[in-house]
Chain A
Amino acid sequence: MDKVIMAEKLSLAYSKDETIINKVDFSINSGDFVFITGASGSGKSTLLKSLYGALKPKEGSLIVGGVELNGVSSKKLNFLRRHLGIVFQDYKLINEWNIEKNIMLPLIINGYDKTVTQNQVDSLLRHVKLQHQAGKFPLELSGGEQQRVAMARALSHNPILILADEPTGNLDEYSSQVIWNLLEGANEQLNTTVIVVTHHIPETMNINYKHYNIEFGELREVI
């Protein structure tokens, strides 16, 4: 089975003195659905940031989608990011763009054809139940709706790997369910690898998943 992520003796830190993740080894196979849990400040989001290259490894090796992130060039990092779907806790939508254009962002970056882009966006808007809000701007939507837009954006270009940082953190039940259904669907139907950082694993999950927990800078699989 192909490895999408391989980490060896990976250490992560924001400063020289304080190491957040300490020499962890792990690998994630293509098509896996993975939950990473841990207490607040344990380093879950830090680990996720390192997976999309926003934080360079302090030590060790980290390979994501075949790209070694230790000392990666900006060109290679951009290449990798074009094949990732990222969902942020604070949505990171572009406020001066309407939601249709926000969803289009990865498609524009990947140079998709206009018709393909439009069809894909229309389909995703239906999936996230926001087809009537296409022309609205992010600040005109509720938090749940904004996160659904962010989810649609992450899925728009059929990424090899979805990284979601507490995607249902502050959402209502309905929006949370839409998000989980989309993540499950992407994993089941498109074999997309999904990594979700969260405090709580929903009880309604209908698929097999792996569970890792971070504690004291160490990552352990929960069986």
Chain B
Amino acid sequence: MFKRNLALLLVVMLVASMFIGCGSKPAEPTEPAATPTDATPAAEPAATPAAEVEQVLYWNISGEPKTIDPGLNAASDGGHVINNMFEGLMREINGKLEPAIAESYTMSEDGLVYTFKLRDAKWSDGQAITAQNFEWSWNRVLAEETASEYAWIFDEANVDSFKAIDEKTFEVTLKAPTPYFLGLTAFYTFFPVREDAVAKGADGAWAIDPAASIVNGPFMLESYIGGDRLVLVKNPNYWQADKVKLERIEALMIVEASTYLTAYESGSIDALLTPPTEEIPRLIAEDPTFYILPQDGTYYYSLNTEKVPMDNINVRKALSLAIDRKAICETVTKGGQVPALNMVSPASYDADGNLFSEKLGGFGLAETAQIEEAQALLAEAGYPNGEGFPKVELMYNTSEGHKQIAEAIQEMWKQNLNIDITLTNQEWAVFQDTRREGNYEIARAGWLGDYSDPMTYLGMFLSESPMNYPRWKSPEYDALIESARTAPGQERFEMLYKAASLMEEQYVNIPVYTYTNTLMVKEKVVGWEMTTRSTWFFGFAEITE
């Protein structure tokens, strides 16, 4: 009896599971939502004359961005997409800041109050963009429950308060005159979003749902297929929509570098970032569509000052001295990178027009390895010829490029200092936690400046900063940086120099090189732009033949 009941029960469960299996199909996310919009592009070619070139750009964004919600994004891959979908008060065009959603702005004489006059621009659904939108969006980023990873940038920008005076007037008050504040209004964290759109998925889900996404930039979302592609179409309500030539952008998410390079060379992709390192010398020689652009960023290794033997300044300096940065740039990374001797990338100038990083100097570091000095320092630290050097682990996030650099440096330390370092890699999300929690001895790190000022680098090493991976704490440094935030011009830079020297003299980081941006864009694509923050903008791009 029991057996028969059991059998019956099993049959019932089996049949039920079949229905469950069927039921889940129609509920699959976004697929059905994308279908009605699919009808629009079919109608579009009829509207444009047949003789013209099809204005479709195929662009690889190398993998699925974590989010494309401006308020939540903290990564450069999401930044590219956001920069083409949204617009802030200002926008960088040809390296210059130009009023965008703001028609004009005035700055008070003490440089503390910015008043932005908004133009008659509309959201993609036709509603007017108001100062209240900005107020709400900025408040959203700052609200704790939003958990924005970039909320701290408001502090960095010295923003004290902001309010919408009326529909078209937005006023921002700063704690101190901040020369780079205006540039930051073109940065995604300061972009406006619509309250009713965000309400449909506050965790960023609204931004990837074509039905919910409301944007104010040149392109809007047509469909989003996770792991495959996202499709952007021209936003007819964009305030300078007449200048936007592209009808459609297919943003592909191909992760493997050799795969997207093949796709580019066979003509199925028009634009891509970071082709594989091994192919760069060939591309430089053969391909006129390959570009190397300077980038404001430093690739470095962080040394955990709380762990033995990294707590010893001589060990830290020895490790830094024993690296041949020139060899790494020329034979490992190959993309025209420049050896870095301090943390600040050579992209920001001081009040007298000197290159900040150049004036700061290398603190004894050179482009090539200084072996004798490094060995002497290691001996002084109690490890003559590397004897008795504890087991040290170098951690990097999983990537072919990071691995190559780590292996090269590991061997340099082995040959120059006779110390054995083990390499471990971790997946990016895990690695970020490990690094933040200080569970490492040496960790790879990289920082792309958010604005053209040394502060974007120096701010990281405040005692309480989450980016202070070396866990180096100096009240003097904190005090200098804090007072530099409010000090005027010349005086401010003196403090920054002093603070930077304080940090560099401790060798808590090993700067390796200054980033470059390697990219490829087909000749037929004209008018594309790469901002000084290394973000794509295709708003005024065009396909020619």
A joins B in a complex: no
- Chain B interface (Cβ < 8 Å from any Cβ of A): none
